[in-house]
Chains A and B, each alone.
Chain A
Amino acid sequence: MELFIGIVNYLVFFAITAGTYGVLSLGLNVQWGFTGLFNIGVAGFYAVGAYTAALVSGPPPDVWDGRVVGGFELSFVVGLLAAALVAGAVGFLIGLPTLRLRADYLAIATIGIAETIRLVLKNEAWLTNGVWGLQQIPSPLHEPIHQGAVGFVRARPDLAPWLQDLISKAYNWFYLALVVFVLVILYLAMRRLARSPWGRVLRAIREDEDVAAMSGKNVFAYKLQALVLGAMIMGIGGALYAHYARFISPNSFEPLYGTFIVWVMLILGGTGNNKGAILGAFTVWGIWAATDFITGYLPFTAPQAAALRIIVIGVLLEVIVLARPQGLLPEVRRRRHLRRPKKTGEADSPPP
């Protein structure tokens, strides 16, 4: 029973992280999946979201902190919205010089912005506390829920130990519900957008920019909107991470965790498919966790095991690209309004 509860507790923790990655993956899907924008600086927007949320909702600087500003102790929701806005603003600024050019330039510029953001986080200690990071970021409603659960367990010492264990972890259940709530809202919104005329323009741009421009669409404006919207969603992902981890530092946003794993998630799940984006996040995070478990049994040192796990992710990416580029859940292409079922012998006729 203890083992079972241990597994359940682990799964809750797992799902919180995977769900947060699901948010990032949804954001990348707007940029890459819908619009074909090659953003390999996801970590930058993620970091900006996390730091914004931490500075807006976190405590003021402690006496031993290097920073002198921030810590407004505003509510979680305000922090979440601020994270989205600031990450979106960064996306806007990076989109202006790059979105009129070939995809390569955006890719390189996004690597650059992610690295530059990390440098700012490390060097501007007055704002970010440098390499020491931001601590004691409050988890929403942590006190009432955690104290309540602990109090409940204390008042009933006759409860079975496994039940005590389960109840005392009640806060994780709450946070999981919060992550799932945000994820579902974003998923529904993205599904709505994907089916809207706006989403159709994005896909038209992805398939052929020139044709979209010929149809009178302002390609640059649409691309900028998609980049900013995706960045805002990534910022929300950062806020969800910061409030759960309660501690963030520049090292939390290295390209591996912040960018590459998100790419593998989206490509495995299905580029252009919102359900796929979420499925991919859970699958890849599952593989990542499984490799941690397996390498524990192999005779390698810790750095070797860490490297081996990343090699697995890299090889996984190549295998998907070679064997199943459309991903587990391929993009749903809605064509029923465009094509009439054709009877045998009937000549092609223009759609009604």
Chain B
Amino acid sequence: MDALSRIPQLLVYGIVSGSILSLGGIGVSLTYSILGFSNFAHGDTMALGAYLALALLPVMAQLGLPSGSLGPLSFGWDFVASLLLAAVGTSLAVILLDRLLFARLRDTHRITLMIATVGVALALRNLLQFVWGPQPHYYTTTIQRAILIPQLGIRIKPDQIFIVAAAVLLALLLHLFLRYTKMGKAMRATSDNTALARVTGINTERVILWTWVIGASLAAVAGVLVGLENKFITPELGWQMLLSIFAAVILGGIGNPYGAIVGGLVVGISEEVSTAFISTGYKPAVAFAILILMLLIRPTGLLGRRR
């Protein structure tokens, strides 16, 4: 099979992994624009969400939620409930972390905060490894049959359609939130100019709280979806995606959540399609190449504002 005929299938994979990158990227972008620093622990926040869902899955089944498969999907209502509760749990963990650590460093140099996030990344990842071990864990061992679409020459699994649909739904909800709610407007104002927002009476600490909640919730969902797509989770899953997420965020224009969505899709698709032309071993380097290219050509990103 020659390289070109594989491209439609790789595009499908790219859209699926790009949707996950977009969800991860939104949190990085929001933290950057509202709190003013790059959060290198965001990947490991995703992994935390993935593991919380893993821990909640048997609890949900105990509570009587049906674990039978939902139609053609590989999971049941127990998984959906775990996914939502994992988002809540991850948000609580991140808020606790903010109170213990980041809030106390709010007035220091932003690089100090970035160093702190590097420490959090390291500690969080190893906390997961301490509790669950380095070996892979599985949400389900059900084997799913892919749907064949011969006209397009692609096959796609129902779970992958779920991943893309979930990402689109969450991006839409985020858009409505930022656009039409009072808190959303306050967040955009704070992102534009924190000092000015504070003067106009916006409670910036509340804005920061919401930023963490949205970022952590989307990160948790992204982490669980990675597990669904890869079929397993390891403590490294978030760290391995961090470079791609940052490439996506910078490509779209750092600080712009819509840019993160576009950037996520572009990076996801580029990474997958690249495997038709170069060794799969270099897939992680594709994100890096996009990053460097973007920094050379247009550091403000596709949707970024000129500074």
Q: Tell me if A103 and B111 are in contact (CB < 8 A).
A: yes
Chain B residues, CB < 8 A from A325: 108, 112
Docked Cα-Cα span, A97 to B289, in Å, equals 12
- In the complex, the answer to whether A260 meets B122 with C-beta atoms within 8 Å is yes
Please state if A115 and B130 are interface contacts (CB–CB under 8 Å).
no
Residues of A within 8 A of B122 (CB): 256, 260, 310-311, 313-314, 317
Distance in angstroms from A95 CB to nearest chain B CB is 12
Give the distance in Å from the alpha carbon of A123 to the alpha carbon of B285 in the complex.
12
Do A314 and B111 touch across chains, with their CB atoms under 8 A apart? Answer: no
Chain A, residues 82-118, CB within 8 Å of chain B (1/0): the string is 0000000000000001100101110111011101100
Q: Is A321 an interface residue (CB 8 A)?
A: yes
User: Contact partner of A119 among B104, B242, B281, CB < 8 A?
Assistant: B281
Q: Would A318 and B126 count as touching, CB distance under 8 A?
A: no
Could you name 5 residue pairs across A and B whose Cβ atoms are closer than 8 Å?
A40-B118, A104-B37, A107-B38, A314-B123, A315-B119
User: Interface 1/0s, chain A 270-312, versus B by CB < 8 A?
Assistant: 0000000000000000000000000000000101101110110
Contacts A108-B291, A123-B281, A321-B115 given; indicate if A307 touches B126 (C-beta within 8 A): yes
Give the Cβ gap from B255 to chain A, nearest Cβ, in Å: 10
Most chain A CB neighbours (cut-off 10 Å) among B32, B40, B118, B122: B122
User: Are A123 and B295 closer than 8 Å at their CB atoms?
Assistant: no
* A260 close to B118 (CB less than 8 A): yes
- In chain A, positions 30-59 with a C-beta closer than 8 Å to chain B are 36, 38, 40
Q: Is A122 interfacial (CB 8 A cutoff)?
A: yes
Interface residues on A, range: 35 or more
Question: Could you say which of B101, B133, B254, B299 contacts A318, with CB atoms under 8 Å apart?
Answer: B101
Give the distance to chain A from B128, nearest Cβ to Cβ, in Å. 8
Please name all residues of chain A whose beta carbon is closer than 8 Å to the beta carbon of B130 when the two chains form the complex: 304, 307-308, 311
A-B CB contacts (within 8 Å), total count: 122
User: A277 to chain B: closest CB distance in Å?
Assistant: 16
Q: How many whole Å from B133's CB to the nearest CB in chain A? A: 6
Q: Which residues of B contact A (CB under 8 A)?
A: 32, 37-38, 40, 101, 104-105, 108, 110-112, 114-116, 118-124, 126-127, 129-130, 133-134, 242-243, 246-247, 250, 254, 279, 281-282, 284-285, 287-288, 291-292, 295-296, 299
B119 engages A321 (CB within 8 Å): yes
> With the chains together, A128 CA to B270 CA distance in Å?
27
Chain B residues positioned under 8 Å from A318 (CB to CB):
101, 116, 119-120, 123
Q: B118–A315 contact, CB under 8 A?
A: no
Q: In the bound complex, what is the Cα–Cα distance between A36 and B292 (angstroms)?
A: 21
10 shortest interchain CB distances as A-B pairs: A314-B123, A317-B119, A112-B288, A307-B130, A307-B126, A314-B122, A307-B129, A310-B126, A123-B281, A104-B38
User: Chain A contacts of B242 at CB under 8 A?
Assistant: 111
- In the complex, are the beta carbons of A321 and B123 less than 8 A apart? no
How far does the Cβ of A322 sit from chain B's closest Cβ, in whole Å? 6
B122 to chain A, nearest CB (A): 4
Q: Which of A105, A267, A314 contacts B120 (CB 8 A)?
A: A314
Minimum distance in angstroms from B30 CB to a CB of chain A:
15
Closest-by-CB residue of A relative to B100 is A318
Q: Quick check: A105 and B118 within 8 Å, CB to CB?
A: no
Alpha-carbon gap, A103 to B282, bound state (A): 26
CB of A263 closer than 8 Å to a CB of B: yes
Expressed in whole angstroms, the minimum distance between the Cβ of A302 and any Cβ of chain B is: 10
User: What residues of A have a CB within 8 angstroms of the CB of B287 in the complex?
Assistant: 112
Chain A residues near B38 (CB-CB < 8 A): 104, 107-108
Q: Which residues of B contact A315 (CB under 8 A)?
A: 119, 123
Report B222 CB to chain A, min CB distance, Å: 18
